[in-house]
Amino acid sequence: MIHLFNGFQDQFGGSDLETLDLYHLLRREAEVRLWAASSRASAELKRRYPIRRISPLSRSVPDGGTYVFLGAHWRNKVWPYLIPKPRRLIYVFNTFHPKVIELTTRMPRMLGWPAAEMVLISDFQKRLLQIEGTVHPSPIDIGRFSRGPSKPERPFTVGRLSRDAPGKHHADDLPLYRELLADGAAIRIQGGMPIKDKLAPHPLLAILPQGQFPAEQFLSQVDAFYYRTDPHVETFGRVVFEAMACGLPVVCHSHGGYSDHIRHGENGFLFETTEQAARILADLKADPALRAAVGLKARQTVEQMFSPQAQRERLDFYLR
C-alpha cells in the first residue's frame, strides 16, 4: 500500500499535478490512496479523484505501508500520532525552504516514524540547497503533448503558461511584450490575470485566466514558449517541459530547475537579460527552420527524460 499526501488546494498547481501524475503511474502496479493534508482541498480535484480527508474520529486514516508526502507536511499535526506507523517514509521536496527540510527530517521522538527518504525534483535544487537525496523529475505524461499543426497564416505567436500568481511574472517582461507586439508578433498568456491591467489592449494580445485551456491545447496554439518568474524560482518548471514535449522552442531565464536540461541553441534557449530574450525571440520569429530544429530536439529531450526505462527506475524506487 502506498499513500500519497498533498494539500490538493489548486487544480493547476505544480505540486498537485505532480502528485496526481505519480498516482497514475504507481496505481498500475500497486494499491495507491490519495490523502488531502489540507482542509481547503479543491472541490474540483475531490470530484475527479478519490481523495480522502484524514479523520481519526471516523477512522479515515492511512493504515501503514509507504507514506509519500509531496509538498505537504506532517509537522504540527495531531493525526500522525493516531494512525499506524509507516514502513517507509518518503518526502518529495519541491520547494527551496530549508526550514521545511529541518521540520520534516527531524522526527519528534514520540512519533516513532522511520527516517524520511528525501526525493528532490532537480539537480538545480540539490545544488542550491546542498542536501542529499534522490533526484526525480516531476512525472509528466508526455503522451498528452504533441506539435500543433503549422499555420503559415498565423503571425509568429509567443506563448506563456502558469498559474494566476503575481510571483510567476517578472516586471521586465511587460516592456518586452510591448516590443514584441509593436514588431508584429502575437502573444498569448494563460495565467496572466495579475498583469492584465498593466498591458493595453491589442489585437495580437490574448491574456487568459489559468485553466482556460488544457495545457496541451493552449501550447498547440503558439510557435515559441517564453518563461521567466520573479520572485518565485522554479525548482523544476513543469510548464517548460510540457512546452518542450509539444516540440516548441523554449526561451527561459537561466535561473530555474529546467536549466540543467536546456542546451542553449540546441534544444532551447537560456537568457540572463531582457535584451538577450528579445534577440532570441526575434531570431525565432525570422527563422521558421530554426524553430522547427530546436523544437525537434526539445521533444527528443523530454522523450529521454520520461522514457520507459527512466520511468521504470523511478517507479522501482517507490515500489521496493
Q: Which amino acid belongs to residue 272?
A: E
Hunting for cell 494563460 — which residue is that?
Answer: 190
**Residues in the chain, pLDDT under 70:** none
The H or E element containing residue 208 is strand 205-208
Q: Distance of alpha carbon 261 from its chain centroid, rounded?
A: 14
Hunting for cell 538545480 — which residue is that?
Answer: 124
| Domain limits, the chain | 2-139, 143-305
Residues 6+ apart with CB under 8 A from 159: 187, 188, 189, 190, 218, 219, 221, 222, 223, 224, 225, 226, 243, 248
Q: Give the pLDDT of residue 155.
A: 96
Q: Are 23 and 38 in contact (CB under 8 A)?
A: no
- For 143-305, give the CATH class: alpha beta
Residues 6+ apart with CB under 8 A from 269: 249, 250, 251, 252, 262, 280, 294
DSSP letter at 138 equals: P
Q: Give the pLDDT of residue 118.
A: 92
Q: What is the pLDDT of residues 168-213, one digit of tens each?
A: 999 999 999 999 999 999 999 999 999 999 999 999 999 999 999 9
Q: Are 208 and 69 in contact (CB under 8 A)?
A: no
How far apart are alpha carbons 69 and 92 in whole angstroms?
A: 6
Q: Give the pLDDT of residue 109.
A: 81
Q: Distance of alpha carbon 141 from its chain centroid, rounded?
A: 12
Q: Give the pLDDT of residue 153.
A: 82
The H or E element containing residue 18 is helix 14-26
Of 252, 284, 295, 258, nearest in space to 270 by CA:
252
Q: Give the pLDDT of residue 69.
A: 93
